[in-house]
Structure 1
Amino acid sequence: MSHVKVEIASQPDCWRLAAEMAGAAGLPERGERVAVAGCGTSWFIAQAYANLRERDGHGETDAFQASEFPAGRGYDRVIAITRSGTTTEILDLLTALDGRVPTTVITADRDAPALPLAGESIVLDFAEELSVVQTRFATSTLALLRAHLGHDIEAVAEDGDAAVRLPLPVHPALAEQITFLGRGWTVGLAQEAALKCREAAGWWAEAYPAMEYRHGPIAIARARRVVWAFGEVPDGLSAEVEATGATFVHSQHNGGYWGAGKDFDPMADLVVAQRVAVLFATSQGLDPDHPRGVTRSVVLP
């Protein structure tokens, strides 16, 4: 069994451990103006958290790619998410912010070079991964941040327990392309699901805000293509997608792959999408632990 399969299956227990750390020093106080920075998967997790924190009334929160952080903009705290703690753009950002603003780094490595560059650090070493492809560190970070916002992570983890066992709603023999959609905080999850398909399997996958999908991207929908929505679905969208011949996937659509009558947390939906990405890889004889052209951390010369 690949490392990533084991890591995907371990996520619900990792979420429970992360939730126990919700009182850790370095997480934002209510009312603080906060920026969250990351690269790749970590950026998408930053997007999800930023939307949730504002939605829940905890304060203005922005998410940035570390390389595109706006120099000179004022924040009460900057959070940097980096599994390895070695990513060049994160180290450069923390160095540039030193002494200007309180910083917190969330990482999986207790010896990460990012730690001494930040004012505070939170280490999720139980979520460290052997696979190049990120799964449990990213979702455990989001579980930590959601728990700090007051979310019931045990309920989320119970949904995750089901997600690691469910039959998959998409099969590679029947899907040549997949588009993920989200609204609000699930836009970040949709972006992450698409990235998993691209990097693990080289699969053609895209992601959009659900309301934006009608404004052009729907043109690629057709038979043997899939549109997979996380969270809330705009009225009429499923019918518009199915009219193109594409398959519409949603946890509540036509009874859903979860079974009728239960609204599961979108983080559990992401677990199912991760499993689909691994299936896409193995169906082509690819190694999902070591994707072509992808490294564990981007360290620039």
Structure 2
Amino acid sequence: MPGTFVDVEIASQPDLWERASALLPEVESRLPRTGERVAVVGCGTSWFVAQSYATLRETRGAGVTDAFVASEFPAGRRYDRVVALSRSGTTTEVIDLLRALDGAPSLLVTGVEDSPAGALASETLVLDFADEESVVQTRFATTTLALLRAHLGEDVAAVADQGRRALELDLSALLDADQVTFLGRGWSVGLASEAALKTREAARFWAEAYPAMDYRHGPFAIAEPGRLVWALGEVPEGLAEEVAGTGATFVHHELDAMAGLVVAQRFAVALAKGRGLDPDRPRSLTRSVVLSGD
């Protein structure tokens, strides 16, 4: 299969993370202030990024931070700021939520200028340089997270260097698997969910995701020869050995979890191509979910 948009977009991520970090002095006044009570919302990939950022922000002591899928935002709960993530700015549930906030402080992070969601948010931050042609979202999500991590004081340049290593890793030994379960801890739980989503979207492949410590509480039962158990970030003590005892293959790269997600993105695309699928245009999916009436 010839090169795809998503191949180019995956490969561009480390450079875009550094570009987003460099943008921080220009945009930090729009981002959550230390001590604010913040809700971060999105759908699909954006929800998983919201989960990761919420955990990071609380861990860094920047303030109470909750993550919600946009359709399930708790009406009546008060926040100092709501941060909505939407690549297109056209997602129905995000638009409905911003409309329901009725002027409460909100920030939309999007890849598109002049979007319907942008018209409803108090402020908008446009990362148009990270927008994508592929339906399958990769670089917009991670670039958004890179900017938010930079705002928390993290060394994004070092993460970008690890992302470049992730682009070079050989995946061939993993591509004959018949199932994969992604695991995360802390802020990488959201990224594990995103890795599983990418694999389902692009390759129609059986992929699951769990918090690593919870994996032993039931999901462990499906581990067996021919299947992968893939950890992003921190690995609980003893888990690799327990997985090996089932005959499943334990996968873990010594990378920042966001760089590790790049490896999982590449895995998903390689699986799709091996199955003769177009990873840019997954079956039944569109770039944005816009429901009837919007």
Partner residue, 2:211:
209
Structure 1 position 155 matched with structure 2 position 158: yes
Q: Distance in 1 between matches of 2:240 and 2:226?
A: 16
Give the aligned residue type for 1:7. E
Query: Aligned to 2:117, which of 114, 127, 143?
Result: 114
Q: Distance in 2 between matches of 1:115 and 1:170?
A: 44
Q: Distance in 2 between matches of 1:243 and 1:71?
A: 47
Task: Give the unaligned 5+ runs of structure 2.
Answer: none
Partner residue, 2:63:
59
Change (3 A) 1:150 1:169: farther
Partner residue, 2:137:
134
Partner residue, 1:6:
8
Structure 1 position 270 matched with structure 2 position 277: no
Give the aligned residue type for 1:130. E
TM-score, normalised on structure 1?
A: 0.94
1:243 offset after TM fit, Å? 0.5
CA contact (8 A) 1:242 1:248 kept: yes
Query: Aligned to 1:279, which of 265, 270, 278?
Result: 270
**Structure 1 residues 91-240: aligned runs within 5 Å:** 91-99=95-103, 101-168=104-171, 170-173=173-176, 175-240=177-242
1:170 offset after TM fit, Å? 4.7
Structure 1 position 45 matched with structure 2 position 36: no
Give the aligned residue type for 1:95. R
TM-score, normalised on structure 2?
A: 0.96
Could you say what secondary structure the match of 2:119 adopts? helix
1:226 offset after TM fit, Å? 0.2
**Structure 1 residues 67-106: aligned runs within 5 Å:** 67-99=71-103, 101-106=104-109
Paired residue total: 288
Partner residue, 1:299:
290
Q: C-alpha deviations, 1:133-172, integer Å up to 9, x for none?
A: 0000000000010000000000000111111122126532
Q: C-alpha deviations, 1:26-61, integer Å up to 9, x for none?
A: 210000000000000000000000000000000000
Q: Distance in 1 between matches of 2:172 and 2:18?
A: 26
Q: Distance in 2 between matches of 1:11 and 1:176?
A: 28
Give the aligned residue type for 1:57. G
Give the aligned residue type for 1:216. G
**Structure 1 residues 235-250: aligned runs within 5 Å:** 235-250=237-252
1:98 offset after TM fit, Å? 2.3
Q: Distance in 2 between matches of 1:228 and 1:213?
A: 11
State percent identity of aligned pairs.
66
1:264 offset after TM fit, Å? 2.2
Deviates more, 1:203-212 or 1:13-22: 13-22
1:117 offset after TM fit, Å? 0.6
Could you say what secondary structure the match of 2:124 adopts? strand
Q: Distance in 1 between matches of 2:207 and 2:250?
A: 14
**Superposition misfits of 4+ residues, deviation over 6 angstroms:** none
Q: Distance in 1 between matches of 2:228 and 2:57?
A: 31
Deviates more, 1:23-32 or 1:6-15: 23-32
Q: Distance in 2 between matches of 1:134 and 1:170?
A: 25
CA contact (8 A) 1:176 1:204 kept: yes
Q: Distance in 2 between matches of 1:85 and 1:169?
A: 37
CA contact (8 A) 1:170 1:276 kept: no
1:294 offset after TM fit, Å? 1.0
Q: C-alpha deviations, 1:57-87, integer Å up to 9, x for none?
A: 0000000000000000010000000000000
Q: Distance in 2 between matches of 1:129 and 1:118?
A: 22
Q: Distance in 1 between matches of 2:238 and 2:166?
A: 27
1:22 offset after TM fit, Å? 2.3
